[in-house]
Amino acid sequence: MTAQDKSCPEGTQGSPDAYQRKLALSDDILMKIEKPARYIGGEVNAVMKKKSEVDMRIAMCFPDVYEIGMSHLGIQILYDMFNQLEGVWCERVYSPWEDLDAVMRKEKIPLFTLESQEPVKNFDWLGITLQYEMCYTNILQILDLSGIPLLAKDRDEAFPIVIGGGPCAYNPEPIAEFFDLFYIGEGETQYEALISLYRECRQDKLGRKEFLRRAARIPGIYVPSFYEVSYHEDGTIASFSPIEEKIPAVVVKEIEKEVSSTYYPKKPLVPFMRITQDRVVLEIMRGCIRGCRFCQAGQIYRPVRERSLEMLKEYALAMLQNTGQEEISLSSLSSSDYQKLPELIDFLIEDCSKKHVNISLPSLRIDAFSLDVMRKVQDIKKTSLTFAPEAGSQRLRNVINKGLTQEDILQGAALAFQGGWTRVKLYFMLGLPTETEEDIRGIAELSNQIAAVFFETVPKDNRVNGKVQIVTSTSFFVPKPFTPFQWATQCTKEEYIEKAYLTRNAIKEQLNQKSIKYNWHEADTSVLEGVLARGDRRIAKVLLKVYEKGAMYDAWSEYFDNEKWLSAFSECGLDIAFYTTRERGLDEIFPWDFIDCGVSKEFLKREWQKAQKEEISDNCRKACQGCGISRFGCGVCVEEHSYQKGSVYENQD
């Protein structure tokens, strides 16, 4: 199959005979609320279908406000995929902003999709993407406003099947009770099978439970109601097992092996209003070869699979033509590792400069090649360069396996300053395992050294405004499932804050402190993010409780209310420390252990132990580390490698 075979057929999008749209909200409401364009749909490339020609209605939800949700690539891929299927109409729904939320509750207006403007409650499926933990209360908002019972067990045949997917589905347990099923892994592979099964069960009137029972046997599908958890007295998990025969004990993640010939939107949606990422996004590859030990994406999206140059060229042209966007962004976890990047960029520069299209290149390693490229595509006076050393000392960078040395950074900075850049952003994490005061001071020292490099490399006469601007930002490290650091203890709020103060003070002591601006992230949300990330099924009652207290939009600092969360935990008799600062034994059963993300627990353990010994691991192209993903037989695992075949880990999987 070629890439073209799965592109969207002509005529389904915005056809004039498509059914006429009456808005769900009255003019009075739309004129009263902020940004009514969030709720009207009808954007360029929105898909309208005739109701008489579809038998399967899917509401696809990003549980945050429109501007955030519309910026998300995953939904655009699934939206395009579903709408190519015969008889299926996939529509979108986002969280109503606080002002509309209040109106809808008061006037009892059910939550609706943007395309047909019909109540979500009448749909066959409600799919919710789970991109970050702090949106969990918004899931409850979506269900509540839709008029769907919050708990899956309370839903009967009248309600949609509620499906969760996305990175947070890799530990679905804290929200397991709110979902009928989870799809673990990449959406391109099993949804057709799930739709067929649904249609079959509906036709034979087998009922909701039987559909779920059969769905649980489809690869990648997890139906929480068919599993039971028991706990030890100390609160850790004693057992986690299916309660029926034929329900798999382990759910293996799904991946798309043929990333160059699968679904990808040629006609992405173009919003009317300004959104967070208002550009064409070209996903050049999935996965990452690097294996940073704190990074969940680097593990769960393994193995690295590159899309072919031919596909990317074809899609870039088509997407720009069909959207009229002024900017194209290359997306991946580490774009510098895409092997044909120079060819791709040459092609884009050639084509885009004719069309006055900007090229945006996030997640590039700073070196001579990338600086040369950036000089061609960006206005260096207006842009800043970003380095993500993540840790302040080489020792700690070895612990986290961040293969970026001080030399790399300082050389990159020197090249950048010679090239005319004067603004540098630095990203670090505080609270990493084994971190000492010295490592924290390293953040300040590295920031200072970069400033010094500027003064050394750029002669006084050539300095724009005579200044260099270093913006050093720290976030707090939160241990995530399926990473080598899943065993790590998390810091308390007080420890986090102390570390931020230490960083700030250390920066103030630097010679070039006037050139350095320091930002840090909020500590409260980091603690909660950690609870939700590594939480178990018991967390659901806390979520219900805190939602009852009015928590919503927790990812938005202006709405986040830590007091509500603290009291919800204490009312539910659950201890935050159990989920955050507790030492986890190497043999503890984790809530997410029933999921097989391709990377073995043994590998993660090895990496955790290597971390403590400050030993680094090579990237996938340099030497296979035997993570276990090679049994999927695709991507980097089957590439021709320069290293010797038959290495120690070759047959270990």
Partner 1 sequence: MKIRIKFRKYGNLKYIGHLDVQRFFQKAVRRAGIDVAYTTGFSPHQIMSFAAPLGVGLESNGEYMDMEVNSFTGCDDIVNRLNRASVEGIEILSAVVLPKEAGNAMASVAAAGYTVRFREGRAPAFDWRGQMAAFFARESIPFVKETKHGTAEINLKSGIFALELREDDSIYMLLNASSAGNIKPQMVIEAFLTAYQDTLKENALLITREETYTNIGTSEEPVLVPLAAVGLENVYA
Q: How far is the CB of 42 from partner 1 (least distance, A)?
A: 6
User: CB–CB of 527/558 below 8 Å?
Assistant: no
The answer to the question of residue 44 lying near partner 1 (CB under 8 A) is yes
The answer to the question of residue 42 lying near partner 1 (CB under 8 A) is yes
**Residue 601: helix, strand or coil by DSSP?**
helix
For residue 187, what is the DSSP state? Answer: T
Indicate the residue among 205 and 356 with the shorter CB distance to partner 1: 356
Residue (of 221, 110, 246) closest to 161 by Cα position:
221
The answer to the question of residue 40 lying near partner 1 (CB under 8 A) is yes
Tell me the C-alpha distance between 365 and 633, whole Å.
28
For partner 1, which stretch binds (CB under 8 A), given 19-27, 235-243, 472-480, 565-573?
19-27
Indicate the residue among 75 and 319 with the shorter CB distance to partner 1: 319
Tell me the C-alpha distance between 60 and 628, whole Å.
32
Indicate the residue among 41 and 63 with the shorter CB distance to partner 1: 41
Q: How far is the CB of 18 from partner 1 (least distance, A)?
A: 9
The answer to the question of residue 355 lying near partner 1 (CB under 8 A) is yes
Identify the residue among 5, 350, 379, 407 touching partner 1 (CB under 8 A). Answer: 379
| Paired sense of beta strands 516-520 and 595-596, if any | unpaired
Identify the residue among 5, 10, 17, 27 touching partner 1 (CB under 8 A). Answer: 27
Tell me the C-alpha distance between 47 and 90, whole Å.
8
E strand residue ranges, 454-546:
469-476, 516-520
**Residue span 306-345 as binding mask against partner 1, x where in contact by CB under 8 A, dash where not:** --------------xxxxxxx-------------------
Indicate the residue among 103 and 410 with the shorter CB distance to partner 1: 103
For partner 1, which stretch binds (CB under 8 A), given 49-57, 173-181, 188-196, 377-385?
377-385
> HSE on the CB side for 105, CA within 13 Å?
12
Tell me the C-alpha distance between 606 and 595, whole Å.
19
Identify the residue among 43, 351, 495, 596 touching partner 1 (CB under 8 A). Answer: 43
The answer to the question of residue 30 lying near partner 1 (CB under 8 A) is yes
Structure-token pair, residue 481: 């499932």
Q: How far is the CB of 282 from partner 1 (least distance, A)?
A: 17
Structure-token pair, residue 174: 């804290």
Q: How far is the CB of 265 from partner 1 (least distance, A)?
A: 15
Structure-token pair, residue 98: 């606080």
The answer to the question of residue 356 lying near partner 1 (CB under 8 A) is yes
For partner 1, which stretch binds (CB under 8 A), given 187-195, 268-276, 443-451, 498-506?
268-276
Identify the residue among 6, 36, 314, 360 touching partner 1 (CB under 8 A). Answer: 36
Indicate the residue among 41 and 160 with the shorter CB distance to partner 1: 41
**Residue 370: helix, strand or coil by DSSP?**
helix
Q: How far is the CB of 279 from partner 1 (least distance, A)?
A: 11
Identify the residue among 54, 103, 273, 589 touching partner 1 (CB under 8 A). Answer: 273
Within its chain, how far is the Cα of 9 from the centroid?
Answer: 29
User: CB–CB of 320/357 below 8 Å?
Assistant: yes
Distant-in-sequence, close-in-space partners of 307: CB < 8 Å, separation ≥ 6: 259, 260, 283, 284, 285
Distant-in-sequence, close-in-space partners of 563: CB < 8 Å, separation ≥ 6: none
Tell me the C-alpha distance between 144 and 588, whole Å.
35
Q: How many CB atoms lie within 10 A of CB 95?
A: 26
The answer to the question of residue 32 lying near partner 1 (CB under 8 A) is yes
Tell me the C-alpha distance between 386 and 428, whole Å.
11
Identify the residue among 19, 272, 501, 559 touching partner 1 (CB under 8 A). Answer: 272
Indicate the residue among 323 and 625 with the shorter CB distance to partner 1: 323
Indicate the residue among 27 and 461 with the shorter CB distance to partner 1: 27
CA angle 248–250–256, rounded 5-degree value: 100
Q: How far is the CB of 469 from partner 1 (least distance, A)?
A: 20
Tell me the C-alpha distance between 225 and 233, whole Å.
23
Residues binding partner 1 (CB under 8 A):
14, 21, 23, 27-28, 30-32, 36-37, 40-44, 270, 272-274, 320-326, 355-356, 358, 379, 381-382
